[in-house]
Amino acid sequence: MPFSYHNPAQALESRRTIDGTGFGKVAIITGCSSGVGLATTQLFLSHQFEVLGVDIAEIDYEKIDPRDQERLHFHRGDLAKEGECDEVVRICVAKFGHKIDVLANVAGIMDAYEAADKITDYEWERILTTNLTVPTRMIRAVLPFMKAKQYGSIINVASKAAVSGAAAGVAYTTSKHGLLGVTKHTAWRFHEEGIRCNAVLPGSIDTNIFSSVGKEHFDEDTFSRLQPIWELHNPAGQKPQTTAGEVASVILFLASDQARGINGVSLPIDRAWGVI
Ligand SMILES: NC(=O)c1ccc[n+]([C@@H]2O[C@H](COP(=O)([O-])OP(=O)(O)OC[C@H]3O[C@@H](n4cnc5c(N)ncnc54)[C@H](O)[C@@H]3O)[C@@H](O)[C@H]2O)c1
């Protein structure tokens, strides 16, 4: 089957541009098999980055342009597993050498909109580990390489739920609020060492994330109270307007030297939902 981008909208956005953005640069992208992570991987590769992509799910190589496949090294692994984040960085260094220019922490899972009266210990742990502990461990693992080169850009994919109490369940909301704490702390702590750390806050995006919602413990009560807020952004029955490719473009910008003056920001990508 011939190569095709993830979807037609992304194909348009991911037009190949041979510029200097990624020449000689190495990026680690988590969650590279689907949604925003896949679109980011496609876009970075098209800008000539070498990419270490990691995901718990297999990647479909037919979604990667054959001209780029040599610069992609895919590792299948569960980042929530003890030691896996360090292992990813070890594999990256073994493959591409002692430099990591970019870390895009994209992998994430959604909760089932449970409020504090419904969330189980298991679900709290699962969501917080994947959405907050894993990105922090990934940052810890890449920092020695970024510090050694006095250069690096870290982009954390947070959410509108990082700044709102009315966009998701309590576990997802807390994990993304926490991720902004990690972003700001890392930005300030290492700003004199050439390392930047920024977050993007997407509204709803047309991806597979809702397949991670546990239907059996879906909190209908909480969802019905959040629904009017959601529908201001994403009217009922309509697909989200924001594409994974649009989010990937912002991640690429933040990773690039064009954004060298930007450090510690939380940038909404939500068609103005964030102003409410
Ligand atoms: N889709 C949305 O509406 C939306 C909105 C705001 C923020 N986000 C954030 O965007 C990011 C990307 O999500 P998406 O919408 O592209 O979802 P997605 O489900 O399409 O992609 C997420 C990827 O992360 C991988 N992943 C999950 N847990 C993992 C683990 N433990 N180890 C390795 N890989 C793992 C999945 O296998 C999947 O390929 C997430 O951080 C999510 O919270 C999504």
Please indicate, yes or no, if residue 1 is contained in any of the structural domains.
Answer: no
Instruction: Name the nearest CA neighbour of 239 among 7, 2, 31.
Output: 7
Banded pLDDT at 2 (limits 50, 70, 90): very low
Which pLDDT score is estimated for 18?
Answer: 67
113 is catalytic: no
Q: State which residues form the domain around 161.
A: 8-275
pLDDT in tens, 213-256: 888 999 999 999 999 999 999 999 999 999 999 999 999 999 99
Please indicate, yes or no, if residue 140 is contained in any of the structural domains.
Answer: yes
pTM comes to 0.95
Give, using CA atoms, the residue closest to atom 1 of ligand 1.
205
Neighbours of 170 (CB within 10 A): 21
Q: How far is CA 185 from the centre of its chain?
A: 18
CB of residue 9 inside a 6 A radius of ligand 1 = no
Written as one letter, the residue type at 148 is A
Please indicate, yes or no, if residue 3 is contained in any of the structural domains.
Answer: no
Q: Point out the least confidently predicted range of 8-17, 64-73, 125-134, 136-145.
A: 8-17
Please indicate, yes or no, if residue 194 is contained in any of the structural domains.
Answer: yes
Banded pLDDT at 210 (limits 50, 70, 90): confident
Please indicate, yes or no, if residue 171 is contained in any of the structural domains.
Answer: yes
pLDDT in tens, 103-112: 999 999 999 9
Residue 9 has pLDDT above 70, yes or no: no
Q: Which residues contact 127 (CB under 8 A, 6 or more apart)?
A: 109, 111, 171, 172, 175
Residues forming beta bridges with residue 200, ordered by sequence position: 157, 267
Q: What is the CA(8)–ligand 1 centre distance, in A? A: 20
CATH value at residue 99: 3.40.50.720
Please indicate, yes or no, if residue 2 is contained in any of the structural domains.
Answer: no
Please indicate, yes or no, if residue 55 is contained in any of the structural domains.
Answer: yes
Q: Point out the least confidently predicted range of 134-138, 192-196, 234-238.
A: 234-238
Pick the atom of ligand 1 nearest to 204's CA. Answer: 3
Count of structural domains, the chain: 1
Q: Would you call 82 helix, strand, or coil by DSSP?
A: coil
**Is the separation of the CB atoms in 134 and 85 below 8 Å?**
yes
CB of residue 80 inside a 6 A radius of ligand 1 = yes
Distance between CA 267 and CA 276 in Å, rounded? 15
Q: What is the CA(109)–ligand 1 centre distance, in A? A: 5
Which pLDDT score is estimated for 193?
Answer: 98
Please indicate, yes or no, if residue 58 is contained in any of the structural domains.
Answer: yes
Residue 8 has pLDDT above 60, yes or no: no
CB of residue 173 inside a 6 A radius of ligand 1 = no
Distance between CA 108 and CA 37 in Å, rounded? 10
Q: Tell me which residue has tokens 């450090």.
A: 263
Q: What is the CA(251)–ligand 1 centre distance, in A? A: 14
CA atoms in the 13 A half-sphere facing the CB of 99:
10
